[in-house]
Structure 1
Amino acid sequence: DQYQLLGADMDFDMMISNDMNLGIDIMVEGGGEQLNIDFDTGIEFSYSIGSDAEWRLGAPSPIYVEAAANDNTDWDCIDDPSDVGVYGEGGEVEVEDLCGMLDGTYIGSADYNVYLSGLPMEEFGFDEGQFDISISDELTNEGDYEGEANMEDVNFNMRSDETLEVDLGDGTVIDATPCDTCPPGNPVMFIMMGNVITHASQSFGEAVAEDFEAELEDSFADIFENIFGVGGDEDDHYHDDDMVMCDSGEMIYEWQMNNGNEDCSDGSDEMDFYLRGQMNEDWESGDYYYGFGQHMDIDVFGFETSPTIMCEYDGMYQELTIDNANDGWDDCDDGSDEFANTQTTTYTCHDGMDISFELVNDGSSDCADGSDEPADNEGKWFMCENYDQIPWQYVNDGVANCEDGGDEYDENDGQTFYCADYTNSISFELLNDGTVDCPDGSDEGEAIFFMMDAYINDGDGNALMATQDLMVCAKWGCDITVDDERSDQWTTYTSEVMAPSTYGGMEMCSGGHISEADGTLLVEATEICSSHYMGPEVWGTHVYLEEDNQLRVVAEAGYGEYDDVTMSWQLMDVTDGANTMVTTGFEEWADESTLYSEEIVDVSGPGEYCLEVHLTQAGQSEPFDSQSECIEFEEAREPSDELMTIGEALAESGLGDVLQAFGENIGATFEDVAENEVPEFPYVDGMWAPLWSDEQATIVGVGLYAWDEDENGYVIAGPTTTGYSEDRPMTFASIRYITGAPAQAAQQEMADFSDLEDIVDVEDHDLGELSQVLEDAGADTSDLGFPDNTETGDDNTAEEVDEPETAEEAAEDSGLLPFVSPLTVIALIGLAAVAGNRRTENE
């Protein structure tokens, strides 16, 4: 039990930085002219994240025990506690665990700088520095996070056939097993580190995303303004002023409020009840009438919920309301909703009582709690002679509600009412008198309905439409019918008040309230104002520079069939406030559903020009819709005389032939090196081996091993290992394996490295030839850290300077994890690739 994993704590810090830059400083001469180019561009980025995290599994895990006892162990997360366990045999097992939660705090920062400067744009006719770019920002945030631990694709693949005896560095020799799939350290530590990085970085990213996006948009807007003279947000239809905050903290556009869709994740953008004014078309006459659309949460009506049954429906297991049972139609895929199909024989009431399924939805409550019948949210209604239906409460109330007055008792008529069983009849006078006279009680009852008052005003408060006592119910035939099975819904109503036939936009403000049948207020709709548009619209207004002093102008509008609309346009020269007409035109709306006009127009020269497009309704003097677009263009920019002279001189110089010869020479040189100077690689197989100790239940070191064609084994990097030689036939990298405290000291020393000699042993690597070649090419090597190659003669020696102690020389102690110099990375990756490829072939 001492090896059971309970969880882990981690204090984690990580920083990543990357600087890339390119500088070009050249002088081009030709034809007696000079062009100096001092060009710089680069990207600087750094990201740091720190976290103090705690991870606890849902139950103790035997992952360490199983990993040590088996050749291959998979570790997965599950949700069901009953599935926790170890599955498999023969060295192949799978450990299923409740991986639990990871929570902690984070502090993160990110900064970036993208820049470009020094392009000689003035030589191409632009302003000096016009294309200089600089985008930078620094983002910081701290907070908490919580999330599920993820163990996806975690695998321990032990090479039990390659058990090794290794020296940890202090003389202690232990048995270790190579783990192909383990990281170079405690696997659980790396797994938790990956989870911490993911959760902390995700939380940080979500916290700063909006600020980052806003800063980037502002930066690019400034760049476009600087280069092209155009603001980056000119085409934006919505700005920060148009945004509103949800109760959840999200931001949405104002027009998304109360639009019938829940745009906030918490639904706080939609009120339970509101009205929006409309103008609805009568498709027969083509006339428009005032009306409104309404959103309502029908929970305010207190409707009952129908019982449900469960079955496979359209391939999915889901609920069906009980009114689908025994309705003569197979709604369930297997027909189990119909008693006649003999699939279902018994129904369990909500109170636990069992009845025959045949009695479900038969119009009579057989369950004591009535749960075998659909909920009745309609109540009892009276049908008039013309088939209109009125609430039962209106019968014999002293007011004729049926067209023929048939809902009121007439003593001269001798009306008779037949009870629902059609075997008994009573005088119509006894209906709705508060006393049950029919054996089945069908002479008494109440309809379920509500009353709504609503109004529409224009933006100035003038009444456009008002209606009272609109009947709202869950039954067809009411003024407004609602679905009692849907909570939120959108319904519409059209009045008999005709709307004006003029085109264009207008503002409509709507409000109202809903009451119980007895007048008790249920819910009130706060007044909401919105714009409404009727008629065609200008779709597009475009002006393009075609050629010198020529513009292409485009106007288009739509959509619909109209015979009383004219589209007109005019191109104006507004240079320096001139406001001079250049051209004009118009087109009548005829049989087509859209209008399109395009012309090429000659203009006097560079300047600012604006195209205006208008739609005007017949009989009206003012347009009901307009759009405009402006363009400004200048004289074509020409390269400077100096640049033209240099270009002509280079074209005549034969520079292309020189560069081609240079390229061919480089290619031949590399081919010669490849054929004659590349040494033969002596290794035919290799193994990357994080070393697992059963005794310590963790990775105690890392080794890189290789074999030659005679199957002799060598330690390329790693601890001293029994049976493996450290006398390698080829040394392609200077590697010294150090562990523990010396490794940590070396790592700290590396952080301060700044010169070439800090990371390269200049005594083992002759850099003088490289330095000389660079200097011969004109490069300044003074900042590169090359050793001084100045010869002083046989009798004189350069003053000896004590070299700082290297990390390797400082390594004296032993520990658990190795330190490997960055200079070995490329070579190690190459050997690991050979090993991986060879192992794949063997398998």
Structure 2
Amino acid sequence: MNTRSSLPSLLITTLLLAALLPLSSVSAAPAEASEFYYGVEYDWSSVDTDLENFTGLDVPEILGEVMGAADDAGFNLIIGQLQTGSSNVYVHHTEDISTQTIMDASDNPVAVWSRTDDVTLRHGILADSILQTDWSETVFGSPTTGFDVDIVQSLEQVLTVDISYTEYLDDNSNLIGADMEFSMDMSAAIGLNIDALFEGDNEEFPIDFDSELTLGYSITDSSSEWRLGSPDPVYAEVSSNENFHWECEDCGSIDGDYTGAVDYSFSVSGIPTEDFGLDAGEFDFEVTDTLTDSGTFDMDAEGEFNFDKGDSMTVDLGDGDGLATQVQSCETCPPGNPLMFLMMGHVLVGSGEAFAEQIGEDLGDGITEAFEDFFGLSGDNAEPLEIYYFSAESPTDTENHLATVSFMQGQDLNWDNIQVQVTVDGSYPATCSNPGTYDSGDRCSIESWGGESMLMVGSGFHIVDNFDLCPENETCEVAITISDMENYRTLDYSNLYVTGGTPANSKGTLISGFTDYSENITLWSQLHGPGTPFVDDGDVYFTCDDAGQIDWDAVNNGMNDCADGSDEAPTDGSSKMFTCEDGTTIDWSLLNNYQADCSQNEDEGVANHYTFQMNLFDSDNTPLSSAELTACEYGCDHDTDTTYWSADSGIPAPSTYGSYTMCTESSIWETGASSPIIESSSFCEDNWVGPRLQYSDAYSAPDGDMMVGWDYQIYGDDAYTDVTTTVTIHDANNNVVFTQSISELDSGYNSDSGTVSVLEEGDYCLTVSMTGDGASTPFATEVDCTSIVQSTEGPSDRVEAVFGALADSGLESVLEAFGENLEDRMQTIEPFEEFPYNDGMWAPLWSNEHAAMVGVGVYVMDDNGAYTLTGPQTQGYANEAPAKLSIRYLTGVAANAQTNGMADATTINDIVEVDNHNLADITADLEEAGIDVSNLTLPQTTPTNDQTSGDDNPTPPTAEDVAEDAGLLPFLSPVSMAAVIALAGVVAGSRKDRTNKEDE
């Protein structure tokens, strides 16, 4: 049963929460202790009445019209519902004005007085509903067609809460802290049974479906202590200000203990799987477990709230003798002592998180094992169903790490089956190389701790940024996807922000490759950061013979920049030579002439000269070509800022259809050195010439039994059309069962598909091959196999017979008539055109005298006056509101008596008048309506009273007649309430539309 959504229920829920209101006083140790009782009660059998009071909707009347429309259309529809429930909350406030001693947050003794609020909450609901419908059609000479469906739904819900909240104040009304004793027990049981029979074409299709779910959660015996970091005058501040914002700046901490328990049970049975090609009972399922644990929690306290006070009001707190108190409404205030709610929230979170952490693994294992059994994943050879959890964090080091990932939960994994991908700032995903498989072309790589072959729970890895995906000191968004490639599943997805870093002395990463887009193979190399292999020494200087230094640009400029003139050629015409790095000499006049005469360009002031070398090999590593380029500040093929370069290898690009493999290597040398500064590893690539077979697929065709389906797709362009495509299907004995050939290809995509009927079960293989004109051997062949098994899936013969007969029957006409009848009958339903009130006020009631919330009221207004919808007696507001809610607001002696009566109630029998929840009332009404209930299974309830008729042969009344009797529909369920409100709105709207059109 779903939770009701309506104005009355919202008000009821709000008022139940609001009842947790302490009537407190914080004057310095009052001369006389105060004591208050109050509470709120609601009987859930009043919901339909409350709904009618506010909307004008008579629910039994509406459902009677629905069932009457079914009778008129020619089929039976009976809806019976019964709900019994009670929600109650009571507060007992006391004060102890004697001097007491507690320890404050600093563990120092402090003298205090105290006030205590004991809260008792008891909520219980029993709800049962029955839907029964049947229809049959008999045509002369034909078998009967029809259905008979019984649906029974049940709900039992219990919530009990006990709170004892004691707060301590010093003689200056400062809050020192609080203690709380807390217990909560929640339980719910939901059942659904469907008993149905469909018949047609001399076949019957029965359904006996049953599902049950029970859940329980409790936190019991929780004792907690809250001590603020320093005394807080919160109550005095609120009482002396019209508007006040409190923020607990020195809130201290809350610690406590608890005993927690959780139990669950879920079962499903009766799905007719055998009629849909599955084994009988294949979807039957049951899981159950109970877990209990005790522990402690400790957490920092924090919180804030706003007080914005409104008009002054006078209310009667009803302490037995009558007590009028001046209060102010406070619509922005919490519906009770915010500090009690603050502490209760911390207790629930602290104990709940601690309990969940303690039992989480056991709870997960229990559910996992049940699902493994259900899906056939248990056993020695079964793949276990695992819940994987990884924790990804930003790196804490200065290396080029994108993330640090820890493996927290799951089953140990083999790195051979794992793929880690990263996406930086939404860029193209990069697949990282796994441990031990790094290649210089990989944009990211994995550094694992705990082993290079296995990723085990408790271990983890760094994701290394090899290509400067996140530049140094920049903030990047990094998305991480971890996949199990063996089982085709994503294990984890994480998203985080990191700051880019660069490892010390990094020279970058060098990669190489080739392309065959031109007539010859083109070699290329690319340098990626972070870091660089190139040295920048800044300005280049010339050393004079007298050891002085000048800029190299001043050499051979016709002016003596060296004191001894050694930077210029002799003026007497004699020769002067310059020695290059490789030992060769050139005339001094060639220096700085904008033309490199030395092999390393040092005559033009080049200090650092580099050589790029790129090599091409075939698949057997036989050298095919080598190319060299230079880089320097001036006069080279490239400058040192270049990160990409390419060269013609001189090797013609292959033209024969099919695949070929070539490999490249590249390196950067300081020219003349004996070893490279940086080099790439060998990179091999398989390239393809000619049209490409993109895919081929053999499969068991879904359109028919014992059929092999096949399809393929080829891509070619204008230059590659001289190809014959052959499609062949072989059976397990290599016999050809189908073949076809197509000559020539169209430019672009070429595809074909079909199905082939086969006679025997077994494996069948599709072979698609492409052969160039004039060739005898295919240059491309792809094989794909599939198993063909005589299908047992799909609905059984009786299902097809029954539902085929229903489809061919007059059922469609019956349902159309039902819709038309329902629309006609709904014309008599008239909800209120206007809401009963034109204004309202939700008013938590604050007393400056008591420095506390002393109650809560809901007040409504119409043109005739103002009323207390619920709450304490308030001057200026009439108690008898025109439209009422069945909420009982108690104070004083009455609240005291009810508190004592409910204190020991812990079960549904204690909280709810179970004797009044008698399903025999519904059963008897169904029998009176002529419904056979002999095979109807109802939820267990109290013994029923025998009911007999004074007429030996009574005439069964129609469903509409029975519905008008209050016994059939004593309760409006949440589902029907929502449906009826929506239906009434539609009907009212359509009536207004028709009225307007008629007026026109």
When the two structures are superposed, what TM-score results if normalisation uses the length of structure 1?
Answer: 0.53
Deviations 1:119-158 (A, max 9, x none): 334345555346668899999999999999998xx76553
Amino acid corresponding to residue 785 of structure 1 in structure 2 = T
Contact 2:728 2:768 in 1 (8 A): no
Contact 1:395 1:432 in 2 (8 A): no
Question: Could you tell me which residue of structure 1 aligns to residue 528 of structure 2?
Answer: 295
Amino acid corresponding to residue 297 of structure 1 in structure 2 = P
Question: Could you tell me which residue of structure 2 aligns to residue 37 of structure 1?
Answer: 207
Q: Does 1:122 align with 2:269?
A: no
Amino acid corresponding to residue 39 of structure 1 in structure 2 = F
Distance (whole Å) between structure 1 residues aligned to residue 256 and residue 772 of structure 2: 65
Deviations 1:451-496 (A, max 9, x none): 6677777887x3557969865668895568546xxxxxx7465572
Question: Could you tell me which residue of structure 1 aligns to residue 607 of structure 2?
Answer: 447
Contact 2:616 2:623 in 1 (8 A): yes
Q: Deviation of residue 25 (structure 1)?
A: 1.9
TM alignment of 1:488-503, pairs within 5 A: 491=644, 493-494=646-647, 496=649, 498=651, 501=654
Question: Which residue among 384, 407, 410 is the counterpart of 2:586?
Answer: 410
Question: Could you tell me which residue of structure 2 aligns to residue 268 of structure 1?
Answer: 464
Q: Deviation of residue 253 (structure 1)?
A: 5.3
Distance (whole Å) between structure 2 residues aligned to residue 252 and residue 46 of structure 1: 46
Deviations 1:317-370 (A, max 9, x none): xxxxxxxxxxxxxxxxxxxxxxxxxxxxxxxxxxxxxxxxxxxxxx99xxxxxx
Deviations 1:679-716 (A, max 9, x none): 99976654332334456766554333345654253252
SS at the partner of 1:579? coil
SS at the partner of 1:119? coil
Amino acid corresponding to residue 298 of structure 1 in structure 2 = G
Distance (whole Å) between structure 1 residues aligned to residue 745 and residue 809 of structure 2: 66
SS at the partner of 1:563? coil
Question: Could you tell me which residue of structure 2 aligns to residue 711 of structure 1?
Answer: 865
Q: Which moved more, 1:14-23 or 1:688-697?
A: 14-23
Closer, same or farther in 2 for the Cα pair 1:277/1:448, shift >3 Å?
A: closer
Q: Does 1:243 align with 2:418?
A: yes
Question: Could you tell me which residue of structure 2 aligns to residue 554 of structure 1?
Answer: 711
Question: Could you tell me which residue of structure 1 aligns to residue 739 of structure 2?
Answer: 584
Question: Could you tell me which residue of structure 1 aligns to residue 329 of structure 2?
Answer: 178
Greater percentage in strand: 2
Distance (whole Å) between structure 2 residues aligned to residue 465 and residue 473 of structure 1: 28
Distance (whole Å) between structure 2 residues aligned to residue 455 and residue 105 of structure 1: 72
SS at the partner of 2:911? helix
Distance (whole Å) between structure 2 residues aligned to residue 641 and residue 582 of structure 1: 31
Contact 1:279 1:499 in 2 (8 A): no
Closer, same or farther in 2 for the Cα pair 1:49/1:753, shift >3 Å?
A: closer
Contact 2:610 2:669 in 1 (8 A): yes
Closer, same or farther in 2 for the Cα pair 1:613/1:590, shift >3 Å?
A: closer
Q: Which moved more, 1:37-46 or 1:531-540?
A: 37-46
Amino acid corresponding to residue 193 of structure 2 in structure 1 = G
Distance (whole Å) between structure 2 residues aligned to residue 276 and residue 526 of structure 1: 5
TM alignment of 1:117-196, pairs within 5 A: 117-123=269-275, 127-129=279-281, 156-160=307-311, 166=317, 174-187=325-338
SS at the partner of 1:773? helix
SS at the partner of 2:907? coil
Structure with greater contact order relative to length (CA < 8 Å, sep ≥ 6): 2
Question: Which residue among 714, 735, 741 is the counterpart of 2:888?
Answer: 735
TM alignment of 1:112-511, pairs within 5 A: 117-123=269-275, 127-129=279-281, 156-160=307-311, 166=317, 174-187=325-338, 241-243=416-418, 254=432, 261=443, 267-268=463-464, 270=466, 273-281=508-516, 283-285=517-519, 287-298=520-531, 396-397=579-580, 399=582, 409-411=585-587, 415=589, 417=591, 446-448=606-608, 462=621, 471=630, 477-478=636-637, 481-482=640-641, 491=644, 493-494=646-647, 496=649, 498=651, 501=654
Question: Which residue among 841, 844, 848 is the counterpart of 1:687?
Answer: 841
Question: Could you tell me which residue of structure 2 aligns to residue 359 of structure 1?
Answer: none
Question: Which residue among 514, 539, 549 is the counterpart of 2:694?
Answer: 539
Closer, same or farther in 2 for the Cα pair 1:783/1:511, shift >3 Å?
A: same
Q: Deviation of residue 301 (structure 1)?
A: 5.4
Distance (whole Å) between structure 2 residues aligned to residue 145 and residue 451 of structure 1: 66
Q: Deviation of residue 397 (structure 1)?
A: 1.6
Question: Could you tell me which residue of structure 2 aligns to residue 317 of structure 1?
Answer: none
TM alignment of 1:636-655, pairs within 5 A: 642-643=798-799
Closer, same or farther in 2 for the Cα pair 1:102/1:682, shift >3 Å?
A: same
Distance (whole Å) between structure 1 residues aligned to residue 430 and residue 287 of structure 2: 27
Q: Deviation of residue 182 (structure 1)?
A: 3.7
Q: Deviation of residue 177 (structure 1)?
A: 2.9
Deviations 1:605-657 (A, max 9, x none): 77654433345677694645636364746468786565566558767986667
Distance (whole Å) between structure 1 residues aligned to residue 900 and residue 922 of structure 2: 31
Amino acid corresponding to residue 586 of structure 2 in structure 1 = D
Q: Deviation of residue 38 (structure 1)?
A: 1.4
Q: Which moved more, 1:593-602 or 1:12-21?
A: 12-21
Question: Which residue among 188, 191, 197 is the counterpart of 1:27?
Answer: 197
Q: Deviation of residue 519 (structure 1)?
A: 5.1
Q: Deviation of residue 268 (structure 1)?
A: 1.6
> What is the identity percentage for the equivalent residue pairs of Structure 1 and Structure 2?
25
Contact 2:762 2:789 in 1 (8 A): yes
Distance (whole Å) between structure 2 residues aligned to residue 652 and residue 566 of structure 1: 54
Question: Could you tell me which residue of structure 1 aligns to residue 720 of structure 2?
Answer: 563
Distance (whole Å) between structure 2 residues aligned to residue 13 and residue 528 of structure 1: 69
Closer, same or farther in 2 for the Cα pair 1:182/1:291, shift >3 Å?
A: same
Deviations 1:544-599 (A, max 9, x none): 5556777664321236554387463424243xx23332333445666724333345
Contact 1:157 1:181 in 2 (8 A): yes
Closer, same or farther in 2 for the Cα pair 1:496/1:549, shift >3 Å?
A: same
Distance (whole Å) between structure 2 residues aligned to residue 456 and residue 139 of structure 1: 67
CA RMSD in angstroms, aligned pairs only:
7.3
Question: Could you tell me which residue of structure 1 aligns to residue 784 of structure 2?
Answer: 628
Closer, same or farther in 2 for the Cα pair 1:53/1:16, shift >3 Å?
A: same
Any gaps of 5 or more consecutive residues in structure 2? 1-169, 386-412, 424-428, 447-460, 468-505, 541-551, 557-576, 949-971, 979-1000
Distance (whole Å) between structure 1 residues aligned to residue 529 and residue 941 of structure 2: 76
TM alignment of 1:97-108, pairs within 5 A: none
Closer, same or farther in 2 for the Cα pair 1:291/1:119, shift >3 Å?
A: same
Q: Does 1:772 align with 2:920?
A: no
Q: Which moved more, 1:254-263 or 1:606-615?
A: 254-263
Closer, same or farther in 2 for the Cα pair 1:731/1:511, shift >3 Å?
A: same
Distance (whole Å) between structure 1 residues aligned to residue 767 and residue 261 of structure 2: 50
Q: Which moved more, 1:58-67 or 1:28-37?
A: 58-67
Q: Deviation of residue 418 (structure 1)?
A: 5.9
Contact 1:683 1:708 in 2 (8 A): yes
When the two structures are superposed, what TM-score results if normalisation uses the length of structure 2?
Answer: 0.46
Deviations 1:780-819 (A, max 9, x none): 6874535643589xxxxxxxxxxxxxxxxxxxxxxxxxxx
Distance (whole Å) between structure 1 residues aligned to residue 176 and residue 616 of structure 2: 66
Q: Does 1:597 align with 2:752?
A: yes
Distance (whole Å) between structure 2 residues aligned to residue 627 and residue 5 of structure 1: 81
**Count of aligned residue pairs for this structure pair:** 638
Distance (whole Å) between structure 2 residues aligned to residue 59 and residue 472 of structure 1: 71
SS at the partner of 2:586? coil
Closer, same or farther in 2 for the Cα pair 1:416/1:275, shift >3 Å?
A: closer
Closer, same or farther in 2 for the Cα pair 1:582/1:222, shift >3 Å?
A: farther
Q: Deviation of residue 243 (structure 1)?
A: 1.7
Closer, same or farther in 2 for the Cα pair 1:71/1:656, shift >3 Å?
A: farther
Distance (whole Å) between structure 2 residues aligned to residue 262 and residue 15 of structure 1: 52
Q: Does 1:572 align with 2:747?
A: no
Closer, same or farther in 2 for the Cα pair 1:300/1:182, shift >3 Å?
A: farther
Contact 2:243 2:309 in 1 (8 A): yes
Closer, same or farther in 2 for the Cα pair 1:786/1:19, shift >3 Å?
A: closer
Closer, same or farther in 2 for the Cα pair 1:124/1:694, shift >3 Å?
A: same
Q: Deviation of residue 533 (structure 1)?
A: 3.8
Contact 2:553 2:592 in 1 (8 A): no
Closer, same or farther in 2 for the Cα pair 1:589/1:294, shift >3 Å?
A: farther
Distance (whole Å) between structure 2 residues aligned to residue 625 and residue 103 of structure 1: 72
Closer, same or farther in 2 for the Cα pair 1:145/1:496, shift >3 Å?
A: farther
